[in-house]
Structure 1
């Protein structure tokens, strides 16, 4: 996958409860240890998820001709168009439900999380989020279509972890300023989660159709 595709995909992987979790963790008393646990979970989940997606794409490719990445009518492209439809439905759901949208209740419990729980959260926010599953499946199909191996997904995995690390890096680099700004950022992201999800879906749809 080329650089123009990797960065937006990695950003989209962390949009929503994923980045909300990262922001909350840097405001906890044990911010560094907890955040590192979260990053470890994200790294393992993304690496495993892409491996599973590539395996599924390979299995599907042996049964159905996925075609090439430039073949608009290929089986692989049809799968991606179906994913676009699912993302569009998700955007509509977020838009029409914006008036009553609330952040997941479990986010409010993360302030007391220890590193072990942070690892679990990192695993679950990647492996159980529909948007991330869709992205990793798309990466798997793309790798299978282009006859690329798992190694070609490593930049995507690394960038996903780097995006997840932005709140922690900001805290380490800017110290008090970051600590002062973090609660406000956490509040905005929590109350505008529906908008963040819509933007993430829109970016991903553009990437697929492009």
Structure 2
């Protein structure tokens, strides 16, 4: 198992991802929906890293990724491109902070059942540009070091654990969290642009 990719799990769940987990624990089917959401996140993380690993394996057969420490390696070029894209996304989020709103589909999670929660768990990972970039970075890391998918298990497990924090907190402190979660949700809704920028900055620091 490779622990070097472990910190990237933090970025996987920052933004609408953790907002979804928080909203689900405030719903009527909090436990069942949250468990289904975690199942979706797990399936999406495994699928995303697996597909990325396969793509880089195919690329590696025709084009050498190069030494990971080399400034001209394909892996390094991918990292530079990712950082540039993240910087652009962070600037865009800041520029639109006055009109920034969380995605409309987040509002549908209040009454989400297990099936809907599972679908959201898949979509917030597989369709989020930041998560796609993270999984590609993990896949490139595995390919450069000739590691199998098993080496990404700590990353996948950490991603699921972070996604489970709202549910774990609810189960441990049910009374207090029922009162606190709506306030946390409201804070994240009104400052979604700040949450997004924090995710971009964290990932940039991890890549560099």
Taking structure 2 as the reference length, the TM-score comes to 0.97
1:193 & 1:5 partners in 2: Cα distance? 26
Q: Paired residue for 2:144? A: 145
Alignment of 1:37-76 (within 5 A): 37-76=36-75
- C-alpha RMSD of matched pairs (Å): 1.1
Q: Paired residue for 2:87? A: 88
Alignment of 1:160-179 (within 5 A): 160-179=159-178
Residue-by-residue CA offset, 1:22-61 (whole Å, 9 max, x unaligned): 0000001110000000000000000000000101111111
Q: Paired residue for 1:97? A: 96
Give how far 1:170 is off: 0.2
- 1:200 lines up with 2:199 in the alignment: yes
CA distance 1:77–1:146, change in 2 (3 Å): same
In structure 2, runs of 5+ residues without a counterpart are: none
Residue-by-residue CA offset, 1:128-180 (whole Å, 9 max, x unaligned): 00000000000000100011111000110011000000000000011111111
Give how far 1:194 is off: 0.8
Residue 68 of structure 1 contacts residue 146 of structure 1 at CA under 8 Å; is this kept in 2?
no
Residue 37 of structure 1 contacts residue 116 of structure 1 at CA under 8 Å; is this kept in 2?
yes
Give how far 1:4 is off: 5.6
Alignment of 1:12-23 (within 5 A): 12-23=11-22
2:139 & 2:181 partners in 1: Cα distance? 35
In structure 1, runs of 5+ residues without a counterpart are: none
Alignment of 1:93-132 (within 5 A): 93-132=92-131
